[in-house]
Amino acid sequence: MACIIDGKALAAEIKRNLKKDAEEFETRYGRKITLAVILVGENPASCVYVNNKVKAAEFVGIKSLSFRLPESATERDVEQVVKSLAADKSVDGILVQLPLPKHINEEKILSLVPPEKDVDGFTAENVGNTTLFKEGINSCTPAGIIYMLKSINAPLCGKHAVVIGRSNIVGKPVAMLLLKENCTITVCHSKTENLGEITRQADILIAAVGKPRFVKADMVKDGAIVIDVGINRTESGLCGDVDFDGVKDKASYISPVPGGVGPMTIATLMQNVYKCAVRRENAGL
């Protein structure tokens, strides 16, 4: 039976430490760290994520400003909000909750977030820094995954990490961060042939597919470390991309859903907000 990687407990520890850092920041600079959150429309999952982020910010002592626009908002409406927050010196971080409604060009909106306020690590500059292994703001979920792996002292150097999924927010950046840790990387996706043959070679298997219980026990090597990124809402409740009950008897470590990567994403987001605030003060912005 695998050891469970308790993302909820790890995230709570990160947030407790950040609370002290945020207090020190306030004493030192005479102002509260400030995060602006933009939500367009009423996507139920997005509403839950935004509420959880606002709650986490409150716990840590980060001031959050919420901008909720109706589904009918135009691209120009969203542009104006982002532009005004970009120019506002009291705002340290801007988070645009994705997905945006279909009529709004996400890439265009994200390009308006200045890299120094890009707490999600989605701008071309921050993605570039991640790829160049340079100091910057890394995407939250991938950074949280690396934190989880380090928390269990997982050997990473020279190990084969297989990532299922190549999205810009999870698959690609987590592959880059694992490469930075000297893993040998294979990225699989919907066009990959013989997926099981590849995943069975993984010392570390990251599932970011968006399909309930997609990774079965016969796709996993004995003793592998399995990180489940998926959040799927099914009739029987929330579940991940990994068939937890089957895989737990094969893996050495496994992250659960809920209580695994999800809380880590939010804790890492808070770390990014803090990092942005300190960097902005140091740069005199």
User: Nearer to ligand NAD by C-beta: 107 or 135?
Assistant: 107
Is the CB of 115 or the CB of 240 nearer to ligand NAD? Answer: 240
**Catalytic site residue from 120, 203, 228, 241:** 120
Whats the size of the chain, residue-wise? 285
- As given in the structure block, the two tokens for residue 268 are 């890492």
Q: What distance in Å separates the CA atoms of residue 129 and residue 121, rounded to the nearest whole number? A: 10
Helical H runs in the chain? 7-29, 44-60, 75-87, 106-110, 124-131, 140-151, 171-180, 195-199, 244-247, 261-282
201 annotated active-site = no
With tokens 């909720």, the residue in question is 68
Does residue number 8 form part of the binding site for ligand NAD (CB under 6 A)? no
> Does the protein bind ligand NAD through residue 142 (CB under 6 A)?
no
CA distances from 146 to 124, 202, 227, 274 (A): 21, 16, 10, 19
Check if the beta carbon of residue 110 is closer than 8 Å to that of residue 96.
yes
Rule CB under 6 A: say whether 167 interacts with ligand NAD.
Answer: yes
Q: Does 265 bind ligand NAD (CB under 6 A)?
A: yes
Site for ligand NAD in 32-91 (CB under 6 A): none
Q: Is 162 in the site for ligand NAD (CB under 6 A)?
A: no
Applying CB under 6 A, among 143, 183, 188, 273 the residue interacting with ligand NAD is: 188
**Would you count residue 171 as binding ligand NAD (CB under 6 A)?**
yes
The full DSSP string for 204-219 is EEEE---STT-B-GGG
Q: Which stretch binds ligand NAD (CB under 6 A): 71-79, 153-161, 164-172, 243-251?
A: 164-172
Q: Catalogue the active-site residues.
A: 53, 97, 120
Interaction site with ligand NAD (CB under 6 A): 141, 164-167, 169-171, 188-190, 192, 195, 208-210, 229-232, 261-262, 265
